[in-house]
Every structure is written in C-alpha cells, then in structure tokens.
Amino acid sequence: MTKCIRMAKAFSNPFRPGAGHPPPYLAGRTAETDEFRALLRQDPVLTNLVLTGLRGVGKTVLLDQFRSLALPLGWAWVGTDLSEAASVDEDRLALRLLTDVAVITAGLAVAKVDATPIGFARARSSKTVTLDYATLEGIYRSVPGLVSDKLKAVLAIALRALAAQRGVGLVFAYDEAQNMADHATRDQYPLSLLLEVFQSLQKQGLRALLVLVGLPTLFPKLVETRTFAERMFRVVTLGRLSDAECRDAIVKPVSAANCPVDLDERSVEQIVDLSGGYPYFVQFICRDVYDAFARGQTEIPVDAILRKLDSDFFHGRWARATDRQRELLRVIAFLDSADDEFTVQQIAAASKKLLAKPFSASHISQMLGALSDASLVYKNRHGRYSFAVPMMEQFIRRLEADERRG
C-alpha cells in the first residue's frame, strides 16, 4: 500500500503535464543530448538536425534543453513554432526568418552603403546602421533576384556580422515543422526555399545550424521536397522512456524533503505501465496520483485518470476524423500490431472479418492519406503506417468497451 503520511507543510504538486512545460526532472535523453552537442561542435557546419517523435514524447521540452546547451558553446538561438501561415508563400517564410534574426542582430552596427549594409555597393560614407528588422527587410527588398537570392544575401550579412562582432553562430530552431509544405498549384515553394537557403549558407562556411522539430511525417516530407535533405540532416527520433528512466521521472520529483507523498514499488510499477513510457502521460498521471494520495487515498484511481486523459488528450484528436474514418481506425486498433506498424493489406483483411461493409485496399490507402493530413497516422519510409498519437489504440478500445456496455 502506498504511504502518504508526511503531510506537514504545504508542498506544491511538482508534476506539470502542460504542452511543452519542463518536467520537474528530465529523465533519459542522454544519447540525444550528446548527439546535439556533437552537431554544435561542427566546423564547418555540414549536418543539421531533425528531432521527431509522436505527441507526448517530450520534443519541445528537449528543444529547450538544447538551447541551454548551445549558448555556452558559441551559438545564439532563434526560433518559434512554425504555423501553417508561415509557409503560405515564400515571401512570408522569408519575413518570418528575418523577424527571428532581427531579435539577435538588432544591436549590431555595420557600415552603410547606398542605403544597404556593405556587400552590395561601394561605401559612400563612414555612417553605420544597425541590423534591426527595418534594415534587414530593406536589404531583402533591395537585392535583385528571386526570394531565395534575397534571403541568402541578407542572412549572410547577419551571420557574418554575428561572427565578426560576437564570435557566435546562429541556431535556427523551429518546432511544429511538419506544418511546412510547398504549394505547387500556386507556384510557391517555401519548404524548398528553406532547405536551399541553408544549404547555400553552409556551403559558404557560415555558422548557421537548422533544427527542425515535428511529428514523424516531417523527415519524409523533407526528402520528398528535396532529395539532398537526406544528406543534410541527422534524424533523432524520440521514443518511449525505458522503465528505469520512467521510474526516475516518477520518483525523483517526490523524493524532495517535506514532500507529503511517498510512492511504494507497486504504485510506481502501475504508473509506469499506465503511462506506456511517454513523458507527457507520466506527468499527467503523476499529477492526479499526487493529488489523490495527498488527500489520503491509498490506491491509484485508474479509471478516473484514464477517463480524464481520454477527455483532455484523445477526444479532441478523435474529433478530427469523419465517421467512416473512425470506423477504419477502430479496425486498426484491434490489429495485433496496432501499437507498432500496420499495412493496408492487414487492415483490409481485418475489415473483412469485423465489418459488414469492409474497406477495399484503394479506399484504405486514400483514407490513410487523409488521416495522415489530420496527424492521426503517419507513413514511414518503408510504406508502413503507425498511429501518430501514442497509445491511440488503447483509447479506441476503451471507446468500444464503453459502447458495448451501453
């Protein structure tokens, strides 16, 4: 039985299951951290980073950790979440990058030449300008050529100024990068632009490191956009925590002095099992377990926690699917390999056994494409599919059980 007897002073619940919120203890991820540290030591920069994984594996949290590693190693850092709006067209993406860079370069002064900093015309005076957003945009608008030519020119000026005046390179880190896409029907190629510009800057020996973070659909999209992307990035895939790492994430935050909650071995094992090793689920479950035990309960309220998790995490994603897509997802959830990989052929065979109106292989392929666009499944490079939401199959099975009970 779990002990919960040290109830003396007020002690805030240490667990924080918010999106991107740092946990009280960052368990595991040592290998991934070492990998990024090696990329920071490149000279010249030859390889960039794709950090990928399912929702809830801690990509955003680890990205924040990477930032703290970069600063002492001679790097400045810019970045944000990439919304779909940022990739509407090439010009908008370029201005997004200039906005981010201006935060770092606004204090840098460079020689003024014909209304642009040095590099495009012979200097007329000894006046200087600062590389704030207005100046960067002015350079961008004045350089002749395509959007890629303009962006390469202005970023090269900014990077050279940072290297000369502060001795630092610049990490461009973008979360939710799976939202990026080219739009051939509108003759707009913002994702291609991004890859082309950074490849060019790095060929010039400039210290620019691109870090893209997103769902598992991200890297296949990059390679499809530009085949050289396969050689341009190191892919780091975040998976579940090991049992030992998961235990650390559970136990260490409540091991502090004056914490009113102790977790016995049985309780820890139960949380490890319920969480599936996913960091977000660890935080979510532990928050409710902590509150329950602090109130004097001695057993984990499993059913209540799962129903709350379903409501807060799964139902919003489930709502993205149409009725017919949900029927397909239900078939997938009962495959033996639902928690790993599955194929169109496996789904088709199962649907013949489970449904009065089974799916054809062509219909399944079409629907899986739509579900991929909704970030519910993804296709890996071997042509197999997986759920893009961790433990989604368990949620669907719970729905089925509830419906059968009436």
> Is 281 among the domain residues?
yes
Q: How far apart are CA 235 and CA 221, in angstroms?
A: 13
The two structure tokens encoding residue 89: 């067209």
Q: Is 261 in the same domain as 224?
A: no
- 105 contacts 158 by C-beta, under 8 angstroms: yes
Q: What is the pLDDT of residue 16?
A: 87
Q: Is 255 in the same domain as 150?
A: no
Q: Is 79 in the same domain as 49?
A: yes
The pTM of the full predicted model, rounded to 2 decimals, is: 0.87
pLDDT band at 404, cuts 50/70/90?
confident
> Is 343 among the domain residues?
yes
Mean pLDDT of 74-103: 89
pLDDT tens digits along 125-160: 558 889 999 999 999 999 999 999 999 999 999 999
At 207, which CATH number? 3.40.50.300
Q: What is the pLDDT of residue 10?
A: 64
> Is 213 among the domain residues?
yes
Q: How far apart are CA 291 and CA 271, in angstroms?
A: 14
Q: Is 218 in the same domain as 98?
A: yes
Q: Is 375 in the same domain as 231?
A: no
> Is 109 among the domain residues?
no
Residues 72-91: b if buried by 16+ CB within 10 A, e if exposed: eeebbbbbeebeeebbebbe
- 236 contacts 57 by C-beta, under 8 angstroms: no
Q: Is 79 in the same domain as 145?
A: yes
Angstrom distances, CA of residue 55 to CA of 189, 288, 357, 386:
27, 20, 32, 13
Count structural domains, the chain. Answer: 3
Mean pLDDT of 114-119: 49
pLDDT band at 2, cuts 50/70/90?
very low
Q: Is 199 in the same domain as 335?
A: no
Domain stop point among 238, 261, 278: 238
> Is 99 among the domain residues?
yes
3-state secondary structure of 55: coil
> Is 110 among the domain residues?
no
Mean pLDDT of 19-24: 81
Q: What is the pLDDT of residue 381?
A: 65
Residues 6+ apart with CB under 8 A from 320: 374, 375, 376
pLDDT tens digits along 285-320: 999 999 998 888 889 999 999 999 999 999 999 999
Q: How far apart are CA 94 and CA 176, in angstroms?
A: 17
Q: Is 191 in the same domain as 270?
A: no
At 355, which CATH number? 1.10.10.10
Q: Is 61 in the same domain as 152?
A: yes
Q: Is 164 in the same domain as 259?
A: no
Q: Write out the E strands in 114-226.
A: 116-117, 128-130, 169-175, 208-214
Looking at every residue in the chain, the average pLDDT score rounds to 89
pLDDT tens digits along 179-210: 888 898 899 999 999 999 999 999 999 999 99
Q: What is the pLDDT of residue 392?
A: 95
Q: How far apart are CA 190 and CA 180, in angstroms?
A: 8
- 280 contacts 56 by C-beta, under 8 angstroms: yes
363 class by beta-carbon count within 10 Å (0-12 exposed, 13-18 middle, 19+ buried): middle
Q: Is 352 in the same domain as 398?
A: yes
Q: Is 167 in the same domain as 214?
A: yes
pLDDT band at 121, cuts 50/70/90?
very low
Q: What is the pLDDT of residue 173?
A: 96
pLDDT tops 50 at residue 234: yes
Domain stop point among 187, 211, 238: 238
Alpha carbon 340 to chain centroid distance?
A: 20
Positive or negative torsion for Cα 213, 214, 217, 221: negative
pLDDT tens digits along 382-403: 779 999 999 999 999 999 998 8
pLDDT tops 80 at residue 120: no
Q: How far apart are CA 243 and CA 118, in angstroms?
A: 57
- 66 contacts 211 by C-beta, under 8 angstroms: yes
Q: What is the pLDDT of residue 145?
A: 94
pLDDT tops 80 at residue 7: no
Domain stop point among 220, 238, 256: 238
- 140 contacts 178 by C-beta, under 8 angstroms: no
pLDDT tops 90 at residue 24: no
Q: What is the DSSP letter of 174?
A: E
Strand pairing class (385-387; 377-379): antiparallel
> Is 14 among the domain residues?
no
Instruction: Write down the number of H helices and E strands in the chain.
Output: 17, 10
Angstrom distances, CA of residue 124 to CA of 88, 120, 135, 136, 238:
39, 12, 17, 19, 53
pLDDT band at 375, cuts 50/70/90?
confident
Q: What is the pLDDT of residue 256?
A: 72
Question: What domain range is 360 assigned to?
Answer: 319-405
- Residue carrying the six token digits 């291609």: 192
Q: How far apart are CA 127 and CA 113, in angstroms?
A: 8
3-state secondary structure of 153: helix
Q: How far apart are CA 274 and CA 217, in angstroms?
A: 26
Closest alpha carbon to 351 in 361, 336, 341: 361
